[in-house]
Chains A and B, each alone.
Chain A
Amino acid sequence: MSLEVDVTHKLGSFTLAARFVSAGRLTAFFGRSGAGKTSLVNVIAGVLRPDRGRVVVDGTPLVDTDKGLFVPKHKRRVGYVFQEGRLLPHLTVRQNLLFGWWFTPKSERHIALDQVLDLLGIGHLLDRRSGALSGGEKQRVAIGRALLTSPRLLLMDEPLASLDDTRKDEILPFIERLRDEAQVPIVYVSHSLSEVVRLATTVVMLLDGRIAAVGSPTEVLGRSDLIAAQGGGEAGALIEATVCGHDPSFGLTSLSSRAGLLQAPQLDLPIGTPVRLRIRARDVMIAITRPDGLSALNVLPGVIQTLDPSAEGPVEVALDCGGVRLTARLTRKSVELLRLEPGRRVYAVIKSVALDRESLGRAPMPAAPTSADASTSRA
């Protein structure tokens, strides 16, 4: 699948000017509130008509203002999961689910009700009214309803934003399954770094209506300047790993990565599952000799690449651990005491408990065709 967007749109004093191409299975629009993520999704869905530009999905143009083309939203076959669910209150769950299915031409129906009920675990809710559902159930029905239109693209606008953490954990695995099992490419809007870490195959980072970066999660989310520009986000590195063993007696799971073996709190994932974890710079310590008598279980040898002193004091140290880039945030004092400098061999030390569920997610299956074109933003 490919998604090509090149639009400009003015909304009051806010200007959306976005141009990117993505071929990812799950393209995450990442940025803080007001960055233009929802406007961009609305343009793709046909809810918002842009002042100028083009939107092409899989070679089919949906918007081309130069040619006066604007496919109305009901003809786009683009599924849309809204932030607030927007289930139709006068209908039952079954009627909500089948609403879009009914409007989909018979020859285009690739997804059946049973499949969706099975995937999302909502079979027992069919006869209920949307008012009688919990927030998490509503969102699952909303996802199912969009899927049943057999969309060529599924848009999800912060589907977890209105849910508490328990409910989020209830839905995230479904979205992972959707990404890996359903043959529908997804555009996922989020301002939550941990959701993007868990889900994205391509990240489109938005900043004040512009595209700040497009690329693979490791490229984009590993850049501390971009994360800092999002405000509140913490610098860190993204590592791809594979589950290689469980140790139930200690409640630990071993992960093998190119940087070395890592121990994380136990994960409910089968051996061989690819995962992706984000290691925050402040959770990484540095030792100049292999540490001894230390509680931390993860010790990765590496070479210092750069030292980047920030204005406030801490120094960001970039390490190359077997081809994997890690960042550590240290005080200036530690840097001087240890005489850290580029090229020096050191050991990165990470506590296992820092690798919590928040920063860890099942990565897309390796066959994923993940690629992204270069991005430019235009004024």
Chain B
Amino acid sequence: MNDLLNLSPEEWTAVRLSLRVATVAMLASLPVGIAVAYLLARGRFPGKSIVNGIVLLPLILPPVVTGYLLLLSFGRRGPIGAFLYEYFGIVFSFRWTGAALACAVMGFPLLVRSIRLSIEAVDRRLEDAAGTLGANRGWVFLLVTLPLILPGIIAGMILCFAKAMGEFGATITFVSNIPGETQTLPSAIYTFTQIPGGEIGALRLTLVSIVISMGALVVSEVMARRVGHGFSFE
């Protein structure tokens, strides 16, 4: 029993890394996610269905394919990766930032879908009313649209976080499985199952996964309830 609760330092590293990767992936994709969701919900422009398809692609493609595409474009020699390294010194391949990028890309469709649906559900007559009260489009978005879609944003964030915590295929293809750098929870569990006597470690990390997932669910419930009770911007 004691064995089940005492995590080794390596295992703690994997847990911390996973949490960091998932949090960064969720927060970094949030502003882009809201913008893209707004564009898809409200925008009328040619090629809208193509944009929609690209956003949803990671949901349909095998994760390994997504990971390989990331490797091709964001790797050191890839067109985007080379540009980012040359001008900004940013490296994604085989770094934890790469893992976060992979997780963000995989979670993005879920985030956008959830926010888009809640934007489409907003009563636009309320936005008109705010407009007649003197608010321009930016203020209407900040003071009316955003508060009204907050439950959808929270739901999308939780989905994105959960997806990031469990992401395996794209991450391992793009940034490999380096302990302490890119070895997230799923990768660590996978590694344990590949070595003799690793069952107990795999089981410990599985328990941790369950606890984190449940925790995320509870947090989202609490936040959703608080938003339901009221939101104040003063």
Contact = CB atoms under 8 A, between A and B. Distances in A.
Nearest to B132: A80
A78 to B, nearest CB: 7
A104 interface: yes
Nearest to A45: B132
Contacts of B126: 86, 88-89
Contacts of B129: 80, 82, 86, 88
Contact of A73 (B132, B144, B230): B132
B133 A103 contact: yes
A74 B132 CA distance: 5
Contact of A47 (B128, B135, B136): B128
B141 interface: no
Given A86-B126, A86-B129, A99-B130, A74 B230 contact: no
Contact of B136 (A74, A91, A95, A145): A74
B3 interface: no
B232 interface: yes
Interface residues of A, number: 29
Contacts of B134: 74-75, 77, 100, 103-104, 149
B132 A90 contact: no
Given A90-B231, A95-B232, A129-B230, A74 B128 contact: no
Interface string B124-154: 0110111111111001000110011000000
Contacts of B139: 103
20 contacts: A45-B132, A46-B132, A47-B132, A74-B131, A74-B133, A74-B135, A75-B134, A79-B132, A82-B125, A82-B129, A86-B128, A88-B130, A89-B148, A90-B231, A92-B230, A92-B232, A95-B233, A100-B133, A100-B134, A146-B132
Given A76-B132, A86-B128, 10 more contacts: A46-B131, A74-B133, A75-B134, A77-B134, A78-B132, A79-B132, A88-B126, A89-B126, A103-B133, A145-B133
What 7 pairs between A and B have smallest CB-CB spacing?
Answer: A103-B134, A100-B133, A86-B129, A80-B132, A73-B131, A90-B147, A90-B231
